[in-house]
Structure 1
Amino acid sequence: MISVQRARDLGRRLSGRRWSRRDGRLAAAGRTLVRPFGLALFQGDADPPPASRRLTFTVPRRLAVLVPLRTYSLVQVAELVLALILYGTTQGMVTDMIAAHIEEYPIPEWVADVAGVAVALPLALRDRWPLAAWRVAIVLMPLTVWTVATLDLVDPPYTAPTGVMYLMVLYSVAVRCDKQITLAVWIITLLTAWIVHPNSMAIVTAMASVAVLFGYNVRVRRTATARLVEEERRTQLAESAQAVLEERARIARELHDVVAHHMSVIAIQAEAVPLKAAGDPARLEAGLAEIRGLSLAAIAELRQVLGVLRDQEGRTDTAPQPGLDRLDELADHARAAGLAVVLERVGSLDGLPPAVGLSAYRIVQESLSNAMRHAPGAAVAVSVARDGDELRLRVANGPGAAPGGAPGAGQGLVGMRERAALLGGTLAAESLPDGGFDVRATLPIADAT
């Protein structure tokens, strides 16, 4: 059983913890409520002015020595002119008031100058530092209001220059400051107006609210526009990156097809030439010459593929890409490597779009390269047929006369499928029951023109 004293102690501790948590929540809520006012009055800052070249003019070079800057904004110049006008208007108005009531209220004449500065200075500062301009206004404006109220000439004690200046400053704060700061500025304005002249609260609230809401609406629209511009920039970057990846993939396919085919032929030729020559210098020289010709052809195609990468000025190689007109040359290279190639053409292959001709050539080239590597000495049947708006390809090889190389990573088949897919076509590849391999492709002609 728990004693009565221990129960009381436990109750006090639990109660103390509850009050501690409650006090912590109250303190946090108090800091949250007070923070916007601290930012508005002391710590906060406004966003930088928007960078815009509209309504700007440049001072001619011959006059540049007379002015501190070369480029000026018409808005800033207009605000400075308006600040000077309001300064002169307010200074003259207060001077006349003081002179008219000098016997009743002996107010120093310098008060008129300070009143003019209190109206002009915030207006001159609001473009660069809107929050600082509001702080200056909230500190200096009471002097003008006090002077007018003391002389009892206007009810409410707000002059037209003061109202114009303050509404413009409020608008700038709403456009360039966070909504918490703007709300704190609006509340401080209404509290100040209520203290100075409660009877004018309705008109002050209406005018201040209109200025703040209008400025906040402009801020929201500017923010949305900036986000839209940023999204467009990111979209352009993403599209550029995608274009780079696609170009890299295209170059990688070209390099794979060129290198795989020619290197396979060269490797097989280099192995077969000494055996065919059998010590005959003439046959050996002819075989080496053929290898040299294949090497030069490979180098030429590599230069053609990589020409755009080497050109610092962005010029591309204008040499024609290989097409189906070079099928005989491709078949001869494969026969020289030991394949028994039978080439069949059906229909007219003239007038094909360059993209279709290049893709068809590369598919046949890669298929023959695969046959060289995996089925050396095999019989290969190559069929190219034009059927209306489609080009049909088939490369089928039987089993090799000798063991082939180890299976690769399958990049050749992936590249052939990508080539067909880019043109809207299809490609199927499968092993045959007798150990051979069959590649079938269909490339649309009409869509590529």
Structure 2
Amino acid sequence: MFSAVVRPFALALFQGDADPPPPRSQRLRLRLPLVGVVDLVQAAGILLALILYGTALSQLMDWNSTGIRRMSEPLLYFTAAAVSLPVALRDRWPLAAWRAAMVMLPVVFWVSRAVGGPSDPPYMLGLAVMYPLVTYSVAVRCDRRITVAVWVISFLTAWIVDPNSLYLVTIMVTVAALFGYNVRVRRNATARLAEEEQRSRQAEGERAVLEERARIARELHDVVAHHMSVIAIQAEAVPLKAAGDPARLEAGLAEIRSLSLEAIAELRQVLGVLRDQDGRTDTAPQPGLDRLDELVSNARATGLTVGVELPDQPLGTLPPAVGLSAYRIVQESLSNAMRHAPGATVTVAVARDDDALRLHVTNGPGATPGGPEGTGQGLVGMRERAALLGGTLEAGPIEGGGFQVSATLPIAGAEETA
């Protein structure tokens, strides 16, 4: 308890430090030839200190010439400097300025009493200006405990020096301290608000980066998974189909090459957003259901039997986001069928009404055992695509050993999502 009471006074008198000055507007800085940049606030403080010095010296000289007791002029110059110097220091070192004022106050009081007479209060006009200004600077730039300690020390000093003027001195010091503390609270609140806004903008930027990374990851997964699956199956099947026939082997290898070039083109398109900071990206249109025949042809080339069910009415123009998501969902579903159900019969059903596009990709059991289970990232990516559009996607096994993917992709509002 004793330490908690003494600590603020130790900080105020010996150990504490003031906060650095807040950054100032460029309007408060002036560039002068041969001088450089001049801080107008500091210049105003120095000018006020010079004015106080002249005023205090003039008042002391008048008192000294008419008073009962005469003091040496060097002491009067020192007293005037003691009154004005803290004002010049308070912008850079407010706590040091207050400490300097407290150290020199006994001299100021003694000289004022000596030359002004014992009946007058020992408070010169310059002192009445200097001390509230220094107290204000301490309250603005120092911890609340230091401000309270400064106020208490000021109150006790005024009570000891001249009890008759205690009420007026207390009001002046209290107003200066409260005003400075209010300014400090407002500045701190403004600084915290700016920090929160900066953190919020940073979090939004990081979230946007993560969303973009997830989007690119989905695109890469779909492109690589589909094309690499087709290429791998083709590379295995071509020698068997060719059966030593060079023409068939050459045709099969040409088809693999075509698939490889198509995969490279799509990868370049996806990775174009990462090409450089100047935004020189690939602007080729993203695939949509207008390229459904290509997917079906590639899947059939790997041994799948693929049937397509389209509505009697044309699908019409779909928003780019819906078309791309539908293409990728069908692509990933066919890729899964190639890997896990080779030689299976697959049905791709597409339907559309005024509100949504509906997809059903169903495959039966494979003619031969499929590959090992994957990590499930393909299903996760399909669900993310549907969720981004406000739609739904369901995937799971069906009776008889097959698998079905059903997606509903809303059309309304999809332009904004794109």
TM-score by length of 2: 0.96
Task: Pick from 89, 94, 97 the counterpart of residue 125 of structure 1.
Answer: 89
1:411 and 1:97 map into 2 onto residues whose CA distance is: 92
What does residue 34 of structure 1 align with? 6
1:111 corresponds to: 75
Alignment deviations for residues 340-382 of structure 1 (CA, whole Å, 9 cap, x no partner): 1112222333321111111010000000000000111111111
| Residue in structure 2 matched with residue 188 of structure 1 by the alignment | 153
* Structure 2 partner of 1:137: 101
Instruction: Confirm whether residue 307 of structure 1 aligns to residue 272 of structure 2.
Output: yes
How does 1:62-211 map onto structure 2 within 5 Å?
Answer: 63=33, 66-67=34-35, 70-101=36-67, 104-152=68-116, 155-211=120-176
What whole-Å deviation, never above 9, does each CA across 1:2-59 have from its counterpart, x for those lacking one?
xxxxxxxxxxxxxxxxxxxxxxxxxxx3222222111111111100000122542331
Match of 2:321 in 1: 355
Cα-to-partner distance string for 1:102-145 (whole Å, 9 max, x where unaligned)? xx313101122112211221001101100000011111233222
Does 1:254 find its partner at 2:197?
no
Contact conserved, 1:58 with 1:72, CA < 8 A, in 2?
Answer: yes
Q: Which amino acid aligns with 1:88?
A: G
RMSD: 1.4
Residue type of the partner of 1:354?
P
SS at structure 1 position matched to 2:123: coil
Give 2:389's aligned residue.
Answer: 423
Large movers: runs of 4+ above 3 Å:
152-155
Q: How far, CA to CA, are the matches of 1:158 and 1:210 in structure 2?
A: 18
Q: Tell whether 2:28 aligns with 1:56.
A: yes
Alignment of 1:222 with 2:187, yes or no, is yes
**Aligned equivalent of 1:23:** none
**Counterpart code for 1:37:** F
Instruction: Give me the whole-angstrom Cα distance separating, in 2, the residues matched to 1:389 and 1:442.
Output: 10
Q: Is the 8 A contact 1:373 1:404 kept in 2?
A: yes
Query: Is 1:334–1:368's contact at 8 Å kept on the other side of the alignment?
Result: yes
Identity of aligned residues (%): 68
**SS where residue 294 of structure 2 aligns?**
helix
Determine if contact 2:350/2:357 at 8 Å carries over to the other structure: yes
Q: Out of 353, 365, 368, which is 2:334 matched to?
A: 368
Alignment of 1:277-296 (within 5 A): 277-296=242-261
Deviates more, 1:420-429 or 1:37-46: 37-46
Q: Secondary structure at the match of 1:355?
A: helix
Which residue is equivalent to 1:438?
Answer: 404
Checking the alignment, whether the CA contact within 8 Å between 1:55 and 1:73 is kept in structure 2 is no
Count of residues in correspondence between the two structures: 413
Alpha-carbon distance between aligned partners in 2 of 1:313 and 1:116, rounded to the nearest angstrom: 64
Letter in 1 for 2:218: R
One-letter identity of the residue aligned with 1:130 = P
Deviation at 1:252, TM superposition (A): 0.8
Say whether the 8 Å CA contact 1:122–1:133 is kept in structure 2: yes
